[in-house]
Homo-oligomer: A and B are copies of this chain.
Amino acid sequence: MTTPGKIMLVGIGPGHVEHMTQRAREAIAEADTIIGYVTYIRLVADLIEGKEVVKKSMTEELDRAIEALARAREGKKVALISSGDAGVYGMAGPTYEVLFEAGWTPGFDIEVEIVPGASALNTCAALVGAPLTHDFCAISLSDLLTPWPVIARRLDAVAASDFVVALYNPKSGRRTQQIVEARRLFLRYRRPDTPVAIVKSAYRPKQRIEMTTLEAMCEADIGMLSTVLIGNSATFIRDGLMVTPRGYANKYDVTNGDTRDGEQAGRSLSTGLAGWRDTIRASGHSAAQIAAQYQLPVDYIEAVLAQTEAEAV
């Protein structure tokens, strides 16, 4: 009887060994077989001497998962290497899909471990300043597996609601127009001078950072290894750093940490949920007027207005 095998989905972070977690190193050390996209294998070359290495090209993600399962069922420990985080546009999803298709059940078959890592949005943000201090989202511009109208609708929604946005897979040799369309959709809501950072090969020898604007971003050098960070309406660039304020200035005096008049440390803002509910109730405006003012659905405003004090503790 063979020992049960294991698949380890290892996120190696940006690609420099310093930014790999201890568990990622251990998982690679523990593995008999290493499977991954050839670029990522190269990034961990010093850790994999003497191991079986299966290199696969970019579009063979399902093949990688199928191969990993076959080896693991032979009793091998297999490390599937992803750059960044294995769960973010990485191998975790396709692997579980392949496992379920093959009748895998946790606890009665090979083991699966996901080793989290810093994703491109974390590492690119660390290099450019503090762009992700407020709500953000990640959108892949690749239409290889997602219909364009789905992507366009997401771009439109988050552009309108002032998220900081990280664009993954912004452009490739064949896909050059998706970033142009993204710019077009963002410019409907955001100022042309909205800060944009383009980070290529973060923490790798060919790292390149370009600070630009929404208006000019399509003129920048953007490729397969780039992440594009688009700021929200409060994001600024100063001394080459891109920073999104968290909102402290609304409540605290940044010079000495004192609380501003009308606000309490550790409490919701006066415009927080409870305060806002009181304000719209006292306004005397109709639900439709309030909905238009705050760009929220009318039936949501009606529900908030209809709440009794007892519900809204």
List the interface of chain A (C-beta within 8 A of B): 11, 13-14, 17-23, 25-26, 58-63, 66, 85-90, 92-98, 100-102, 105-106, 114-119, 122-123, 125-127, 129-140, 143-154, 156-158, 160-163, 174-178, 181, 184-185, 188, 238-241, 243-252, 254-257, 265-269, 271-277, 294-297, 299-300, 303-304, 312-313
Contact = CB atoms under 8 A, between A and B. Distances in A.
Majority DSSP secondary structure for residues of A touching B: mixed
B178 A132 contact: no
A257 to B, nearest CB: 4
22 contacts: A18-B23, A21-B21, A22-B25, A62-B254, A85-B132, A92-B133, A93-B133, A100-B238, A101-B255, A116-B122, A117-B122, A118-B122, A119-B119, A137-B158, A143-B271, A143-B272, A145-B248, A146-B269, A148-B272, A174-B267, A176-B313, A177-B273
Contact of A162 (B61, B135, B154): B154
B62 A252 contact: yes
Contact of A126 (B87, B130, B188): B87
A96 B19 contact: no
A133 B96 CA distance: 11
Nearest to A236: B100
Contact of A138 (B115, B136, B144, B162): B136
A265 B21 contact: no
A271 B118 contact: no
The 4 closest A-B pairs by CB, nearest first: A93-B133, A137-B137, A143-B272, A145-B247
A18 B27 CA distance: 11
A180 to B, nearest CB: 8
